[in-house]
Structure 1
């Protein structure tokens, strides 16, 4: 298993950053390679990705969700094997640190090589930068789910 850890500071309150992250169907607006996410239940999402011409579909289950603190997930079906957690840290009333930690199992030579060359780390860092731009430009979340898992 490979691991990646990245974080970014966003200029919105922790509640706003967390609320936006619970809106999984908006991820394609800031996550490169994510074509579509369907929220099937409160804890199950279906992902369609296309990274460098490799299309994958998989289901991810939310294993832990604590409002304004964390969202953890693991894949449960499909072609990708990964697990992770995103945590939200209040820096002050208008600033939040978003930290993403993920474990994944590269599939095949191309993905293994891409991982060793830092592709996944750069992808995650880029996605977090696009999340920052997305939420800061809006100034407010597109929705929220405040339930606990």
Structure 2
């Protein structure tokens, strides 16, 4: 198993950052390679991705959700093994630190090479930077419904 952990400061209150992150169906707007995320029910999401030319389709279950604090998940069906957690820490009333930790099992030569040379870490960093731009430009959460466990 490999692990990636990245953090970013966003210039919005914790409630807005958390609410936007839990609008999973908006992920394709700021996550590179995410084609579609469907909220199947309160705890199940269905993902379609294309990263590095590799198409993946899988289900992930929200295993823990604490409003304005954290969302954890684990894949439950599909061709990847992954789990992770994103945490939200208020820095002050208008700024939030968002930290993403993901554990994954690279599959095949290409994914192992990408992991070894830090491409996956840079990919996650890029996704967090795009999330920052996305939420700061909006100033409020928007898009599809928010998951509530």
Q: TM-score interval w.r.t. the shorter chain?
A: over 0.9
Give 1:145 shift.
3.3
Alignment of 1:46-125 (within 5 A): 46-125=46-125
Distance in structure 1 (CA, Å) of the matches to 2:146 and 2:102: 22
Whether the 8 Å CA contact 1:67–1:146 is kept in 2: the answer is: no
Partner of 2:15: 15
TM-score, scaled to structure 2: 0.97
Q: Shift of residue 66 of structure 1? A: 0.4
1:129 correspondence with 2:129: yes
Cα deviation for residue 146 of structure 1 reads 6.8
- Which consecutive residues of structure 2, in runs of 5 or more, have no partner in the other structure? none
Query: Number of matched residues?
Result: 148
Contact between 2:43 and 2:147, CA under 8 Å: does it hold in 1?
A: no
| C-alpha deviation, 1:79, in angstroms | 0.9
Runs of 4+ in 1 over 4 A off after TM superposition: none
Task: Output the CA distance in 2 between the equivalents of 1:52 and 1:103.
Answer: 18
Alpha-carbon distance in 2 for matches of 1:80, 1:126: 21
TM-score (norm 1): 0.97
